[in-house]
């Protein structure tokens, strides 16, 4: 319950950042082009720095157990993504409007980069980001493979380059290449990396605030599918994930930190990448924006609730 309280406090802080982004957008201090540019900075520079910083902080604790924990985290992340895909695929079937593509993608993929990393960092520290990076890398690979299939309906558009040569995977790989041989960055370089990493929470949440500013909440709430996607993404899939983690603890040595480092990303709202993919593949990007914005608002209540419920049996 203590972790749920910490998460709740951080979610409120995140909401404050979102409010600033909302105001900036409404007062025309930032426009669509500005949002895209800041998003590129976050994806290409800030997120990799967050991962590198976290791994650098764990070098002093390097041990086989630490690596085993990272491997278990990756396994949990993979299983949770498969479960989420299975559940969502049963509910969202192919139909003419193509809206099912946005629904299916949005139900499966959480905002584990923009939202989970700040939460993990502030509640679980470097341990949380270290183990949570396995979820981020898994998420990135999955959406470049499964996500592309969802939107295109074919495997022909999938390339190994897009699946593995992207900021999330590259950032994790660079962090690991420094971590495994215990290479510590010089103090000046580490200061720079830490400074850039510190931009992640405020910038990413301000960007989400601009999404909220550019939708009609009334119109969004009139869409029946928004409720089903929100329920799956924010409650059902995270709670199923919690049960899965609980059961796997009888097989693998999953401590509470690893469990929560995977559960927090699994409980996050719809991934912002759903808007980018909807735009890229000519789907309903405005609807995707509605899903991202509304589920982010609702997650202020659901993320602490999921952590509180899971803490009853994951101890």
- Whether residue 163 is predicted with pLDDT greater than 80 in this model: the reply is no
Cα gap 275→284, rounded to integer Å: 8
Domains annotated for the chain, with CATH where assigned, are 2-310 (1.20.1530.20)
- Model confidence, pTM: 0.88
- Whether residue 48 is predicted with pLDDT greater than 90 in this model: the reply is no
pLDDT in tens, 229-286: 999 999 999 999 999 999 999 999 899 999 999 999 999 999 988 988 888 888 888 8
Q: Sign of dihedral through CA atoms 192, 198, 203, 204?
A: positive
**Among the listed residues 44, 42, 38, 40, the one whose alpha carbon sits nearest the alpha carbon of residue 24:** 38
Q: Which pLDDT does position 208 carry in this prediction?
A: 83
Quickly count: other Cβ atoms within 10 Å of residue 314's Cβ: 18
Q: Which pLDDT does position 231 carry in this prediction?
A: 97
User: What token pair was written down for 124?
Assistant: 């679980």
């Amino acid at each position: 319950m203590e972790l749920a309280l910490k998460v709740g406090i951080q979610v409120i802080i995140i909401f404050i950042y979102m409010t600033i982004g909302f105001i900036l957008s409404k007062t025309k201090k930032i426009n669509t082009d500005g949002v895209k540019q800041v998003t590129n900075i976050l994806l290409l520079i800030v997120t990799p720095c967050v991962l590198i910083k976290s791994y650098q902080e764990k070098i002093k604790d390097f041990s086989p157990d630490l690596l085993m924990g990272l491997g278990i985290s990756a396994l949990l992340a993979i299983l949770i993504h498969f479960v989420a895909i299975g559940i969502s695929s049963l509910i969202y079937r192919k139909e003419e409007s193509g809206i099912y593509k946005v629904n299916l993608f949005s139900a499966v993929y959480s905002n584990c980069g923009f939202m989970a990393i700040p939460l993990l960092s502030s509640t679980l520290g470097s341990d949380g980001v270290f183990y949570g990076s396995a979820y981020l890398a898994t998420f990135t690979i999955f959406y470049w493979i499964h996500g592309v299939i969802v939107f295109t309906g074919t495997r022909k558009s999938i390339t190994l380059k897009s699946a593995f040569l992207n900021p999330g995977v590259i950032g994790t790989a660079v962090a690991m290449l420094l971590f495994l041989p215990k290479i510590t960055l010089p103090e000046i370089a580490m200061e720079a990396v830490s400074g850039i990493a510190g931009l992640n929470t405020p910038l990413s949440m301000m960007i989400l605030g601009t999404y909220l500013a550019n939708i009609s909440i009334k119109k969004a709430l009139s869409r029946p599918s928004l409720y089903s996607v929100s329920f799956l993404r924010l409650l059902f899939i995270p709670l199923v994930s919690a049960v899965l983690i609980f059961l796997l603890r009888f097989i693998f040595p999953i401590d509470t930190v690893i469990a929560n480092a995977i559960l927090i990303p699994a409980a996050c709202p719809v991934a912002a990448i759903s808007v980018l993919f909807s735009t890229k593949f000519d789907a309903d990007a405005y609807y995707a924006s509605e899903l991202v914005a509304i589920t982010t608002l609702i997650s202020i209540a659901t993320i602490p609730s999921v952590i509180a419920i899971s803490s009853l049996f994951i101890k």
